[in-house]
Structure 1
Amino acid sequence: MIHELAPHYQRLMKKYPVVTLAEWQLLDNIATIKHIKKGDSFLRYGKVARYSAFVISGMFKFSILDEECNEKIVKFSFIDDFLANCESYNKKAPSAVSITAVEDAVILRINIKKMQPLYDLHLNLLHVNLQLYQELMEQQSEHQYILSLKSPLQRYRFLMERRPAIIQKISLTNIARYLYTSREALSRARLYLLDQTRNFCD
């Protein structure tokens, strides 16, 4: 059945042009809009993943706990990004990752079990699924590279140059957890870089 799609699909159509209007409408039939308050989880530690989602508004963090139960952030997701833990879903295993809203958010939530049969019938959707998986691998690889940099200063400089959205939108505390360093060390690095910028401008 053909029906008019909500405005947020326009952005997704631009991001994933291979998917046809009819295919987006099929996806819309199995998707629901969900509001998530700041601090609430899309997926909690220890829960088996059953849903994926596109972010309509807001931001999310993907975090793990180290041996001492300290939070480490492995990824941020912004508007139009994809939320999922495919490993947990495929293995039917408790998630080691928590996906939490860092501000009030709205998502387009999809039941993965209902989505799976569409891949066999619509190769465009399968193509996007593979694209999303590739993007995830690239993000993980980049995060590992950032962590290989020796100092908080180098790590923060990388974000300034390559991922300014994180600098602009994410709190210093959460950036420190993403860079696996202390908030104090990161604050010193930020002040140093700001001084360098002022001196250069002077």
Structure 2
Amino acid sequence: MKEEFKQYIASYLKLFPHSSLEELEILRTQLIIKEFDKKDFFFSSGEIQRNMGYVCEGLLRRYYINEKGNKITTGFVRENQYATDYPAFIRQKPTKYFMECLEPSIIIELSYENIQEGYKKFKNNEKYGRLTAEYVLTVQTDRVESFLFENAEQRYLNFIDRNPDLINRISLTHLSSYLGIERQSLSRIRNKIAKK
């Protein structure tokens, strides 16, 4: 079994330590490991995402293109997180987003069909799906509320606090887009904080 499989199964077992051998063996046979180069796309706007992705190595960003043709970053996905547009994935509808690799990445994939089959067959799979949905909902709600209740500096400080490992892995352009501010404004915020 490859190291990536072991990593995925280990993360699954942390949540469900009493999983049966049958359950783990079926899961192992359904997982697909894929390698992506920097700038490769895990999925693109207009596609139906057929496979859920679990990032073993690497970093991706989710973005959409607005009416002016600008790429607006809506999230970053790093190791031990899911690469998905979850609402579109669970409905098997075309996504409006692009998921691009910012670094060479190793992603474990599990198909929509196998996920649905697992829900019917194993209680743990249903619970895993619920936990995934809750995580995605929390991340999306936190992002929306940051724009409603925080100023740009607070959004930046909270991002740094929650993602200290990402600050040296993403460009200021992508970060400023994610924070909803101009790059020059982000530079001013960073300089102001550095002087404190």
TM-score (norm 1): 0.86
What does the per-residue CA deviation read over 1:55-75, in whole Å, with 9 as the maximum and x for residues that have no partner?
110011111222212111222
Match of residue 153 from structure 1: 153
**For residues 179 and 4 of structure 1, what CA distance do their matches in structure 2 show?**
37
**For residues 14 and 42 of structure 2, what CA distance do their matches in structure 1 show?**
23
Contact (CA 8 Å) 2:50, 2:112: kept in 1 or not? yes
Contact (CA 8 Å) 2:86, 2:136: kept in 1 or not? no
**For residues 114 and 175 of structure 2, what CA distance do their matches in structure 1 show?**
35
User: Where do residues 65-104 of structure 1 align in structure 2 (5 Å cutoff)?
Assistant: 65-104=65-104
**For residues 67 and 128 of structure 1, what CA distance do their matches in structure 2 show?**
37
- Report the 3-state secondary structure (helix = DSSP H, G, I; strand = E; otherwise coil) of the residue aligned with 1:188: helix
Are residues 57 and 135 of structure 1, via their aligned partners in 2, closer, same or farther at CA, if it must alter by over 3 Å? same
- Report the 3-state secondary structure (helix = DSSP H, G, I; strand = E; otherwise coil) of the residue aligned with 2:167: helix
**For residues 175 and 147 of structure 1, what CA distance do their matches in structure 2 show?**
15
How far apart are residue 11 of structure 1 and its match?
Answer: 4.2
- Report the 3-state secondary structure (helix = DSSP H, G, I; strand = E; otherwise coil) of the residue aligned with 1:169: coil
Match of residue 199 from structure 1: none
How far apart are residue 49 of structure 1 and its match?
Answer: 1.2
What does the per-residue CA deviation read over 1:62-98, in whole Å, with 9 as the maximum and x for residues that have no partner?
1122221211122211111112223323444221011
Match of residue 8 from structure 1: 7
Contact (CA 8 Å) 2:72, 2:177: kept in 1 or not? yes
User: Where do residues 163-202 of structure 1 align in structure 2 (5 Å cutoff)?
Assistant: 163-196=163-196
1:61 matches 2:61: yes
Match of residue 16 from structure 2: 17
Contact (CA 8 Å) 2:9, 2:24: kept in 1 or not? no
**For residues 16 and 84 of structure 2, what CA distance do their matches in structure 1 show?**
21
Of stretches 103-112 and 68-77 in structure 1, the one that deviates more from structure 2 is: 68-77
RMSD: 2.2
Contact (CA 8 Å) 1:11, 1:80: kept in 2 or not? no
Amino acid at match of 1:156: Y
Amino acid at match of 2:127: H
How far apart are residue 19 of structure 1 and its match?
Answer: 6.5
**For residues 70 and 28 of structure 1, what CA distance do their matches in structure 2 show?**
40
User: How many correspondences in the alignment?
Assistant: 194
Gaps of 5+ in 1: 197-202
Amino acid at match of 1:138: T
TM-score (norm 2): 0.88
Q: Percent identity?
A: 21
